[in-house]
Amino acid sequence: MKPSKLERLLKNHRLLFGGLAALLLVFTSLFYLSQTERDLPASLVTNRVLLFVLWYINVILIVVIVFVLLRNLVKLLVERRHRTLGSTFKFKLVATYVGLSLIPVLALFFIATELLRGSIDRWFNTPLAPVLERGNAVAQAFYDRVEGTALRDAGFALREIEGIDLDQADERPRLTSRLQELLAELDLDVLAVYEGREFVRAVLDSQSGIPDLPEPGRDFLDEAVRNGKAVRMDVSSGPGRLVLAGVSNRGKTVIAGTLLDPRVAEQTDQLVRDFQAYRQLEVQKDDLRSSHVLLFLMVTLLILLGSSWVGLRLARRVTLPIQALAEGTRLISLGDLGHRVEVEADDELGVLVESFNRMTAELASNKEALERSSRDLVEANRLAAWNEAARRIAHEIKNPLTPIRLAAERMQVKNEQGDPGLGRTVEEGVEIIVREVVHLQKMVDEFSRYARMPRPSPMPVDLERLVVDTLNLYRDVKPGIELEARVESEAATAQLDAEQIRRALINLLDNAVEATEPPGRVEVAARRQADGGLEIRVADTGLGTPPESRDKLFLPYYSTKGRGTGLGLAIVHRIVTDHDGTIRVEDNEPHGTVFVLGLPNG
């Protein structure tokens, strides 16, 4: 089964498609790896990879469209320059298709893009934004207040224990006791004392649910010593959020810890996270817009590619049969009737191609029939000519026979009468008989020569020299007759049988010189025809040839002069025909005859 065009297209471009797909896979994998290495959130990586894939496809599409359009544009321009048949039509069709799709598609693309931009901007201008912002502000204010309270309590506790010397071991129970009191008094969950980075004492509310004393960390303690205060939100301790506030003075740091209600902490955190999620979306607004624009662009480019492809395909479907038909017409005009147009077309053009092929077949058939008829006609003409020749031969033979018979009868009568003038009569009779027999002999020789004429052997001939030499034979034969040879340079050399052509020219010039009365002119001209064939014209300014005798001029033994053998023009005709040529008679202007010899292979 023959593969479809799509299958062939896919097969031809399989390597290209495969290569592009493999490149997409490799680039996407590399891009994915580079993005995951940056510890980005999974959703962000997915969005970026999607953007990359869309961008890649669009770049490839742009490259393909530019390549296809430029390639075809160049081809069309070259075809137009070379005036290839159908190029203008193809150019117009493609331009129309691309133009018709380009304008609405681009308009649609820009409108859709603007609408999308507006829609995305409106998404971020909804009342939701200020709600989330206010929620975040409330949460931040709550955190500020909790941190402020913890800092205030830590400061208060620091001032309360300032009088206790931490280096004295016997002061430690007093410190612990005071810390316990402050823990209860300030409603704290943790209270700890550090000397620099060194832990001194800490108390913990056993009801708070905090499993162990939280570790503030060196950074926190350093920051508190350096700045006088430090605050941390610790999410790892216990059931809720632990706010740690440290206040430091002269190397002594008190850390106050307050555990937020888990439900309040969760709600507050959620408010903050929601606001942050919203801001992330807002930050990715450009990416979102880009992905949609790329998607629209991809569709736009696909439509453009499709329309230009369809335009080119349609143009090719129309112009290919036209080009094939034009080529077919050219070949047929050159004679190649066996040529057939082989183009796949299943519409009206297909009908046209079929009709053309049918017409060509009929032409070939008609030509064959015509040739057959022509051959038959030639045969019939030849038979008729031979009939005519036989009649004329009989006539020509009968003409001398009559005086012979009469001379013989006269001699017989004179002899029976015993006429004394018999001797004289015999002399006259013998003279007549001999003369007529000589004439008969001459006629038989000429006919024999005509019948034995060999096939021509064409060779390169200096035609100019041949014509001039032949004309020179007739110089001064008839005073007052001007002889002229005109051979164009393109016809100076020809492929002919020189002897036969010389003989044909002599026969024609014999007639021409004889038919022309002084003052007159006989001219032999030779030139090349447009198709490369040779044309020789022998013209005289004689009395001309009557139209009624032109059909018989070239028949053997036909003569308008009443003397001669009547084979001169028949021999010319035979020579020309043997050279695959033609001969015709025309009137010369203002009077006279022109014999035109057409020698296509000369």
User: Alpha helix (H) ranges present in 161-284?
Assistant: 172-185, 218-227, 262-283
Distance from C-alpha of 501 to C-alpha of 453, rounded to nearest angstrom: 13
Pairing between strand 198-204 and 229-234?
unpaired
Cβ(195)–Cβ(248) under 8 Å? no
The answer to whether residue 267 forms part of the interface with other proteins (CB under 8 A) is no
In the list 165, 181, 198, 282, the residue contacting other proteins (rule: CB under 8 A) is 282
Distance from C-alpha of 245 to C-alpha of 192, rounded to nearest angstrom: 10
Number of residues lying near other proteins (CB under 8 A)? 32
Q: In whole angstroms, how close is the CB of 189 to other proteins at the nearest point?
A: 18
Q: In whole angstroms, how close is the CB of 215 to other proteins at the nearest point?
A: 15
Pairing between strand 520-528 and 481-487?
parallel
Distance from C-alpha of 169 to C-alpha of 364, rounded to nearest angstrom: 132
Q: Which among 536, 532, 541 has a CA at the least distance from the CA of 466? A: 536
Cβ(303)–Cβ(100) under 8 Å? no
Which x/- pattern over 193-232 shows residues binding other proteins (rule: CB under 8 A)? --------------------------x-----------xx
The answer to whether residue 279 forms part of the interface with other proteins (CB under 8 A) is yes
In the list 293, 337, 343, 506, the residue contacting other proteins (rule: CB under 8 A) is 293
Cβ neighbours around 35 below 10 Å, total = 17
In the list 31, 47, 57, 58, the residue contacting other proteins (rule: CB under 8 A) is 58
Cβ neighbours around 98 below 10 Å, total = 21
Cβ neighbours around 15 below 10 Å, total = 9
Q: Which among 442, 437, 443 has a CA at the least distance from the CA of 389? A: 443
Q: In whole angstroms, how close is the CB of 180 to other proteins at the nearest point?
A: 30
Q: In whole angstroms, how close is the CB of 290 to other proteins at the nearest point?
A: 5
Helix (H) or strand (E) holding 66: helix 42-81
- What the block records as the tokens of 348 is 């009206």
Q: In whole angstroms, how close is the CB of 304 to other proteins at the nearest point?
A: 16
Residues 6 or more apart whose CB falls under 8 angstroms from that of 567 comprise: 446, 447, 450, 556, 557
| Residue 584 three-state SS | strand
In the list 15, 33, 38, 416, the residue contacting other proteins (rule: CB under 8 A) is 38
The answer to whether residue 275 forms part of the interface with other proteins (CB under 8 A) is yes
The answer to whether residue 143 forms part of the interface with other proteins (CB under 8 A) is yes
From 37-45, 168-176, 337-345, 485-493, give the range in contact with other proteins by CB under 8 A. Answer: 37-45
From 281-289, 310-318, 361-369, 586-594, give the range in contact with other proteins by CB under 8 A. Answer: 281-289
Q: In whole angstroms, how close is the CB of 489 to other proteins at the nearest point?
A: 59
Q: Tokens 């014509």 map to which residue?
A: 467
| Residue 586 three-state SS | strand
The answer to whether residue 261 forms part of the interface with other proteins (CB under 8 A) is no
The answer to whether residue 269 forms part of the interface with other proteins (CB under 8 A) is yes
Which x/- pattern over 508-537 shows residues binding other proteins (rule: CB under 8 A)? ------------------------------
The answer to whether residue 42 forms part of the interface with other proteins (CB under 8 A) is no
Q: In whole angstroms, how close is the CB of 269 to other proteins at the nearest point?
A: 5
Considering beta carbons, is residue 137 or 397 the nearer one to other proteins? 137
Cβ neighbours around 500 below 10 Å, total = 22
Considering beta carbons, is residue 278 or 595 the nearer one to other proteins? 278
Which x/- pattern over 85-124 shows residues binding other proteins (rule: CB under 8 A)? ----------------------------x-----------
In the list 297, 349, 407, 534, the residue contacting other proteins (rule: CB under 8 A) is 297
Considering beta carbons, is residue 297 or 524 the nearer one to other proteins? 297
Considering beta carbons, is residue 267 or 495 the nearer one to other proteins? 267
DSSP secondary-structure letter at 564?
S
In the list 20, 24, 44, 129, the residue contacting other proteins (rule: CB under 8 A) is 44
In the list 37, 342, 416, 531, the residue contacting other proteins (rule: CB under 8 A) is 37
Considering beta carbons, is residue 276 or 601 the nearer one to other proteins? 276
Q: 3-state SS string over 93-132?
A: HHHHHHHHHHHHHHHHHHHHHHHHHHHHHHHCCCCHHHHH
Cβ(220)–Cβ(230) under 8 Å? yes
The answer to whether residue 40 forms part of the interface with other proteins (CB under 8 A) is yes
Cβ(460)–Cβ(495) under 8 Å? yes
The answer to whether residue 280 forms part of the interface with other proteins (CB under 8 A) is yes
The answer to whether residue 286 forms part of the interface with other proteins (CB under 8 A) is yes
User: Alpha helix (H) ranges present in 124-261?
Assistant: 128-160, 172-185, 218-227
In the list 233, 440, 492, 506, the residue contacting other proteins (rule: CB under 8 A) is 233
Considering beta carbons, is residue 40 or 264 the nearer one to other proteins? 40
**CA 455 to each of CA 300, 494, 500, 568, 574: distance values in angstroms, whole numbers, following the listed order:** 77, 18, 9, 18, 10
User: Alpha helix (H) ranges present in 334-347?
Assistant: none
Q: In whole angstroms, how close is the CB of 294 to other proteins at the nearest point?
A: 5
Cβ(509)–Cβ(522) under 8 Å? yes
DSSP secondary-structure letter at 125?
T
The answer to whether residue 255 forms part of the interface with other proteins (CB under 8 A) is no
Considering beta carbons, is residue 144 or 488 the nearer one to other proteins? 144
Q: In whole angstroms, how close is the CB of 79 to other proteins at the nearest point?
A: 35
Q: In whole angstroms, how close is the CB of 140 to other proteins at the nearest point?
A: 8
Residues 6 or more apart whose CB falls under 8 angstroms from that of 56 comprise: 24, 27, 28
Q: Tokens 């035979």 map to which residue?
A: 574
Considering beta carbons, is residue 143 or 194 the nearer one to other proteins? 143
The answer to whether residue 379 forms part of the interface with other proteins (CB under 8 A) is no
Cβ(576)–Cβ(597) under 8 Å? yes
| Residue 393 three-state SS | helix
Considering beta carbons, is residue 227 or 472 the nearer one to other proteins? 227
Pairing between strand 242-249 and 252-259?
antiparallel
Considering beta carbons, is residue 160 or 269 the nearer one to other proteins? 269
Q: In whole angstroms, how close is the CB of 51 to other proteins at the nearest point?
A: 8
Distance from C-alpha of 361 to C-alpha of 356, rounded to nearest angstrom: 9
- What the block records as the tokens of 180 is 């316990």
Residues in the site for other proteins, rule: CB under 8 A?
37-41, 44, 55, 58, 113, 136, 143, 219, 231-233, 235, 269, 272-273, 275-276, 279-280, 282-284, 286, 289-290, 293-294, 297
